[in-house]
Amino acid sequence: MKIKYPFPNARVYKKTSYKSQGMLFENGLNITNEFYRINNKAIIYKKPTPIQVVRVDFPARSKAKIIEAYYRTPSTTDYNGIYKGKYIDYEAKETSRKSFAFKHIFPHQIEHLKKVSEQGGIAFVLIYYKVVDEVYLIDIEVFYDLYQAGLAGGRKSIPVEKASEVGVLVKLGYTPPIDYLDAVDQYYFK
Amino acid sequence: MKIKYPFPNARVYKKTSYKSQGMLFENGLNITNEFYRINNKAIIYKKPTPIQVVRVDFPARSKAKIIEAYYRTPSTTDYNGIYKGKYIDYEAKETSRKSFAFKHIFPHQIEHLKKVSEQGGIAFVLIYYKVVDEVYLIDIEVFYDLYQAGLAGGRKSIPVEKASEVGVLVKLGYTPPIDYLDAVDQYYFK
């Protein structure tokens, strides 16, 4: 059974289903970022999921226990940090379809990434197409144009073929599992 | 009555005490960052407080309700983002004493800022000395040296006089309330 959370990043799986899901995309990214940090390659962290705390209980002799809270919509994206002295910011998405639908990313997250790009930062979307087991990095300017075209009546999703055409394929492996900074080098530092 | 939270940033005040507390430092910083964003001067956000969710309830026809969760120690600092194309990262602290004690900042946060600085980012600590109503920006390299001296048997805090000597005084006002990017300009872009 999969529990329905208000947005994908807050989704959790029962322990018994871990194996059948393979390595979670988010988990792979976290391990990758830890690898980058340990090797002083980049300092990139996932931001905590924003939670609105309503009630807190203080049991004697133990730490504060939150007893009522709700998931909030994130203001920005999931990941940011520093790479080669530059600010880097991205959103990571996975889809079980052959085309990534724009409705699965918040419009204000797209706007946020666009602004980061305009201020000279590195900003992109990472999309994991589970059916083909491929991850693509798509620069926000490119992503933004496709998104705008969708709003104007065009295609409201990015098929994996399109991603391979306009994005950069991310090498998947073991150390690190999702080497997206290699794709960043190809696109932003070539 | 002030509720005791596990770390300062999670601290909340009862509504009735807002006035006597004056504008909260964190609140002032959030308004300042919003001002910077609106004016396309910088994109800096406060990270959400990390919370470990243990149990979630799903009442019929309503959104997920977290019924058991705990505050976690933050991995990094409170604020980061992009300014003039550069990565910026800082921790904001307030003290009601005339000297800021190092025990009020996590050692791993200091290490994090040090690493950011080493990778070419702008990294500092903002300290609000409530008794004198002054905010100082102290670059992490300077802060780190004082901290190390404290570990080696020296002073384990930074008095406001020292802050005014080694740091940059931050202009306090209305729009924005805490104009720390002016201090950043003075220190990092002069």
* Cis-peptide into B6, omega within 30 deg: no
Pairwise CA distance, residues A127 & A92, whole Å: 6
**A33-70 burial, b for 16+ CB within 10 Å, e for fewer?**
bebbbeeeebbbbbbbbbbebeebeeeeeeebbbbbbb
Residue A84: partners with Cβ closer than 8 Å, 6 or more residues away = A42, A189, B119, B120
Pairwise CA distance, residues A80 & A92, whole Å: 11
Distances from the Cα of A30 to the Cαs of A14, A34, A35, A79, A185, in angstroms? 19, 6, 9, 10, 19
Residue B124 lies in a domain: yes
pLDDT higher at A8 or A60: A60
pLDDT in tens, B100-157: 999 999 999 999 999 999 999 999 999 999 999 999 999 999 999 999 999 999 999 9
Give percent above pLDDT 90 in chain B.
82
Q: Domain with A80 in it: what CATH number? A: 3.40.1350.10
Q: Bridge-partner residues for B170, per DSSP?
A: B135
* Per-window interface: B 76-95 vs A, CB < 8 A: 76, 80-82, 84-89
Q: A54 contacts in B (CB within 8 Å)?
A: none
> B68: nearest CA in chain A?
A67
**Cα A27 from chain centroid?**
11
Residue A41 lies in a domain: yes
Angle at A101 between CA A97 and CA A105, to 5 degrees: 120
User: How many domains in chain A?
Assistant: 1
- The candidate with the shortest Cα–Cα distance to A164, out of A135, A133, A186, A123, is A135
Question: What pLDDT score does A23 carry?
Answer: 57
Question: What pLDDT score does A101 carry?
Answer: 97
Alpha helices for chain A (secondary structure H): 18-21, 25-38, 107-118, 140-151, 160-166, 180-188
Residue A119 lies in a domain: yes
C-beta neighbour count of B190 within 10 angstroms: 5
* Cis-peptide into B74, omega within 30 deg: no
Domain that includes residue B97, residue range: 8-48+74-188
**ipTM for this prediction:** 0.83
Tell me the mean pLDDT in the region A53-64. 86
Q: Which of B51, B112, B120 sits opposite A85 (nearest CB)?
A: B120
Residue A169 lies in a domain: yes
Q: Bridge-partner residues for B93, per DSSP?
A: B127
Q: A75 contacts in B (CB within 8 Å)?
A: 45
Classify residue A81 as left (phi > 0), alpha (psi -120 to 50) or beta: left
Q: A68 contacts in B (CB within 8 Å)?
A: 65-67
Burial level of A150, CB count in 10 A (0-12/13-18/19+)?
middle
B159 and B99 Cβ atoms separated by less than 8 Å: yes
Note whether A69 contacts B: Cβ–Cβ < 8 A: yes
CB contact under 8 A, B66 and A69: yes
Residue A154 lies in a domain: yes
Question: What pLDDT score does B26 carry?
Answer: 92
Best probe of the B interface among A36, A54, A68, A82, by most B CBs < 10 A, is A82
Residue A2 lies in a domain: no
Query: Residue A10: pLDDT above 50?
Result: no
Give the distance from residue B137's alpha carbon to the nearest chain A alpha carbon, in angstroms.
21
Residue B56 lies in a domain: no
Q: Tokens 């980012």 map to which residue?
A: B121
Please, which pLDDT band fits residue A60 given cuts at 50, 70 and 90?
confident
B98 and B131 Cβ atoms separated by less than 8 Å: yes
Residue B3 lies in a domain: no
- The candidate with the shortest Cα–Cα distance to A183, out of A109, A113, A124, is A124
Please, which pLDDT band fits residue B56 given cuts at 50, 70 and 90?
very high
